[in-house]
Chain A
């Protein structure tokens, strides 16, 4: 009886060993070192449904467009790029699940997305556990690439857009210097890291320019009625209201603020980009409203003109900044895969970190030591027809 147990135990241990060994074997790249793979799988973890679906869809479209172009031109230095795409339903938990699935089941070499900061932050553990680079095209929160506790750069997390503090700073600089405003209120989305991060940087920068923040109020993402809080904000008579939030809420906030008789400046960030703000609001309501953004489709740069033309032909709408960032992220990855010349995630990670002087549609991209790109921002406003229009390019002080 006892010997049987021991044998059973031994079998179990052996079994376990083979399993571990088996796993190890799987992880090693199939090719010999130095030999280029024919294709590399790129995972796409995008918000294709849910609250911020319009962003996820735009980014996914642009990435697929970019990969099609790259593959049509012979691939990334001869390596074809294959996209494995899943929907994370705009949820943190699902973003984590999708990242795990891409890394473990689909064995992709690099993951693009998620699109929003909160969802991107949720995937950090996967990047570390599976040692796989995660590139968020549009997640602007500082903590995505830098651990706030230790101040160290997260080795496998990257972004191809500028960071939150930068946008808050640009908006504050525009309000204080270009518009000459002295007082402002901030109205934030309480559940969003993106919004909270921008609140902090706007406040600091605006006060740095000698302005005064008269009030800070918050809303939650399910809200559709902002009138009560807006009535309170307007009661304090700020010259500007800074609303670092996403278009679905922003479009309603703008119309309700104007309906309550507010005529001061409404300032925002790239979350405003998209078609909803113009669709919901009358052109009159959008006068004296401005937001920071990554690029303007009105640019005369030939690269932008081509991108806008190809995107519009394929998807029937003008690409938003989110789409432009997705497009650039795809090129950053293709560039890194070409340089690494392999499907090894660690080699690709090192190549992404070394990205320098890559000309994209949102500017020239060079990643700094904290995996953030260095580039300028544009300020957009609305014309008499209520359509987005380029105001000026801001280089932060």
Chain B
């Protein structure tokens, strides 16, 4: 039982990271039907911004988190303006290939500037941990911070999407871009805003991962990016609560497979479950079966 509880904690902290990255994937997909493969790299750059903010400016965790989120938001908007906007009316495959190009460009620009050697993230959160209800399971303060920050950001996102004018515009553009334009919504600004918010969440995930795993590298975005994409599809791509749930489920599955099955098959089982879910419910857990609009 103690071990089970411990695995749940391990899984949820891993899942929180996946969830934060998956949110960005899903928002961008929802609004312009683009799978933004460069998203994992934004997360990586978020980690580096946090790293430099902490080491060079000597600031604490939360200011670094905010600087990194702002930095990533700007980066996301710039990438959208330069790489994706010119392709908005071309085929989806062109935009997808461009996204892969941007992803590789950021990875190796990272290798060039930050060097391939892993950087050690400063320990700015306490190493302490606490017992859960007198069991032998522990939750560290880092894990606790990750949970709390993830949930706060998720709530903030729900508020923005459902209760602000920007959110309303985002939903309108996602529903029907042309109609939204006709109604006087500035589609370009709305899409920019979506990239900014999604990238800011990835930046936050980057800083938290830096703190949690204490080491960051320019290629750190590849695997989590892929897993987060899986999480987004699992929950139903384009649906915000779906990305959150998908991330958490993926994290839990991985923890349980490592803990109770064979650690070697962890990724295989995670992806197998994904395939099964998609066969049974191709639109993902939260997806609605929509008829093709005529």
| Interface residues in chain A, defined as those with a beta carbon under 8 Å from any beta carbon in chain B | 49-50, 53-54, 57, 190, 217-220, 222, 224-225, 227-229, 231-232, 235, 248, 251-252, 255, 259-261, 276, 279-280, 282
Min CB–CB distance B90 → chain A (angstroms): 33
The reply to whether the CB of B140 lies closer than 8 angstroms to some CB of chain A is yes
CB contact under 8 A between A248 and B215, given known A261-B138, A279-B120 = yes
Min CB–CB distance A219 → chain B (angstroms): 6
CB contact under 8 A between A276 and B127, given known A217-B263, A228-B254, A231-B259 = no
CB contact under 8 A between A251 and B138, given known A190-B264, A232-B260, A282-B127 = no
Are A231 and B215 neighbours in the complex by a CB distance under 8 Å? no
Chain A binder among B6-14, B65-73, B93-101, B198-206 = B6-14
The reply to whether the CB of B255 lies closer than 8 angstroms to some CB of chain A is yes
Residue of B at shortest CB range from A219? B263
Taken together as a complex, chains A and B put the C-alpha atoms of A300 and B255 apart, in Å, by 48
Min CB–CB distance A59 → chain B (angstroms): 14
Residue of B at shortest CB range from A280? B214
CB contact under 8 A between A222 and B138, given known A229-B259, A229-B263, A282-B127 = no
The reply to whether the CB of B118 lies closer than 8 angstroms to some CB of chain A is yes
Taken together as a complex, chains A and B put the C-alpha atoms of A224 and B251 apart, in Å, by 13
The reply to whether the CB of B124 lies closer than 8 angstroms to some CB of chain A is no
What are 19 A-B contacts with C-beta separation under 8 Å? A53-B115, A57-B117, A190-B264, A220-B267, A222-B222, A222-B223, A224-B213, A224-B220, A227-B6, A227-B14, A228-B10, A229-B263, A231-B6, A232-B3, A232-B258, A251-B215, A252-B213, A280-B215, A282-B127
Residue of A at shortest CB range from B216? A224
Taken together as a complex, chains A and B put the C-alpha atoms of A172 and B260 apart, in Å, by 27
The interface residues of chain A lying within 8 Å CB-to-CB of B115 are: 53
Are A228 and B117 neighbours in the complex by a CB distance under 8 Å? no
Are A231 and B120 neighbours in the complex by a CB distance under 8 Å? no
Taken together as a complex, chains A and B put the C-alpha atoms of A147 and B234 apart, in Å, by 47
The interface residues of chain A lying within 8 Å CB-to-CB of B6 are: 227, 231, 260
The reply to whether the CB of B59 lies closer than 8 angstroms to some CB of chain A is no
Taken together as a complex, chains A and B put the C-alpha atoms of A280 and B115 apart, in Å, by 18
Taken together as a complex, chains A and B put the C-alpha atoms of A218 and B267 apart, in Å, by 12
Interface members, chain B 230-286 (any A CB < 8 Å): 254-260, 263-264, 266-267
Taken together as a complex, chains A and B put the C-alpha atoms of A240 and B259 apart, in Å, by 19
The reply to whether the CB of B111 lies closer than 8 angstroms to some CB of chain A is yes
Taken together as a complex, chains A and B put the C-alpha atoms of A75 and B254 apart, in Å, by 57
Taken together as a complex, chains A and B put the C-alpha atoms of A251 and B254 apart, in Å, by 21
Interface members, chain B 113-160 (any A CB < 8 Å): 115-118, 120, 123, 127, 129, 136, 138, 140
The interface residues of chain B lying within 8 Å CB-to-CB of A251 are: 214-215
CB contact under 8 A between A218 and B264, given known A231-B7, A248-B118 = yes
Residue of B at shortest CB range from A87? B116
Residue of B at shortest CB range from A231? B6
15 additional contacts, CB 8 Å, given A251-B214, A252-B213?
A53-B117, A217-B263, A224-B209, A224-B215, A224-B220, A225-B10, A225-B213, A227-B6, A229-B259, A231-B259, A232-B3, A251-B215, A260-B6, A261-B138, A280-B120
The interface residues of chain A lying within 8 Å CB-to-CB of B257 are: 228
Are A276 and B120 neighbours in the complex by a CB distance under 8 Å? yes
How many B residues have CB within 8 A of the partner chain? Answer: 37
Min CB–CB distance B268 → chain A (angstroms): 11
The interface residues of chain B lying within 8 Å CB-to-CB of A222 are: 222-223
The interface residues of chain A lying within 8 Å CB-to-CB of B136 are: 261
Are B11 and A228 neighbours in the complex by a CB distance under 8 Å? yes
Taken together as a complex, chains A and B put the C-alpha atoms of A30 and B3 apart, in Å, by 70
The interface residues of chain B lying within 8 Å CB-to-CB of A252 are: 213-215
Interface residues of B: mostly helix, strand, loop or mixed? helix
The interface residues of chain B lying within 8 Å CB-to-CB of A224 are: 209, 213, 215, 220
Min CB–CB distance A199 → chain B (angstroms): 13
Taken together as a complex, chains A and B put the C-alpha atoms of A224 and B213 apart, in Å, by 7
Min CB–CB distance A242 → chain B (angstroms): 15
Taken together as a complex, chains A and B put the C-alpha atoms of A248 and B117 apart, in Å, by 9
Taken together as a complex, chains A and B put the C-alpha atoms of A154 and B210 apart, in Å, by 44
| Contact partner, A260, options B111, B138, B254, B256, Cβ 8 Å | B138
Min CB–CB distance A286 → chain B (angstroms): 13
Taken together as a complex, chains A and B put the C-alpha atoms of A157 and B22 apart, in Å, by 48
Residue of B at shortest CB range from A222? B223
The interface residues of chain A lying within 8 Å CB-to-CB of B111 are: 49
Min CB–CB distance B143 → chain A (angstroms): 9
The interface residues of chain A lying within 8 Å CB-to-CB of B3 are: 231-232, 235
Taken together as a complex, chains A and B put the C-alpha atoms of A49 and B140 apart, in Å, by 33
Residue of A at shortest CB range from B136? A261
Are A259 and B138 neighbours in the complex by a CB distance under 8 Å? yes
List 3 A-B pairs, minimum CB-CB distance, nearest first.
A228-B258, A227-B10, A228-B255
Residue of A at shortest CB range from B17? A225
The interface residues of chain A lying within 8 Å CB-to-CB of B7 are: 228, 231
Are A276 and B118 neighbours in the complex by a CB distance under 8 Å? yes
Are A225 and B263 neighbours in the complex by a CB distance under 8 Å? no
Are B14 and A225 neighbours in the complex by a CB distance under 8 Å? yes
Residue among B6, B111, B258 having the largest count of chain A Cβ atoms under 10 Å = B258
Taken together as a complex, chains A and B put the C-alpha atoms of A225 and B116 apart, in Å, by 20
Min CB–CB distance B211 → chain A (angstroms): 12
Taken together as a complex, chains A and B put the C-alpha atoms of A324 and B214 apart, in Å, by 28
Min CB–CB distance A221 → chain B (angstroms): 10
Taken together as a complex, chains A and B put the C-alpha atoms of A190 and B215 apart, in Å, by 21
Taken together as a complex, chains A and B put the C-alpha atoms of A62 and B10 apart, in Å, by 41
The interface residues of chain B lying within 8 Å CB-to-CB of A282 are: 123, 127
Taken together as a complex, chains A and B put the C-alpha atoms of A282 and B254 apart, in Å, by 28
The interface residues of chain B lying within 8 Å CB-to-CB of A235 are: 3
Taken together as a complex, chains A and B put the C-alpha atoms of A260 and B7 apart, in Å, by 11
Taken together as a complex, chains A and B put the C-alpha atoms of A240 and B129 apart, in Å, by 23
Min CB–CB distance B118 → chain A (angstroms): 6
Taken together as a complex, chains A and B put the C-alpha atoms of A385 and B266 apart, in Å, by 36
Residue among A217, A220, A279, A282 having the largest count of chain B Cβ atoms under 10 Å = A279
Taken together as a complex, chains A and B put the C-alpha atoms of A220 and B267 apart, in Å, by 10
Residue of B at shortest CB range from A50? B116
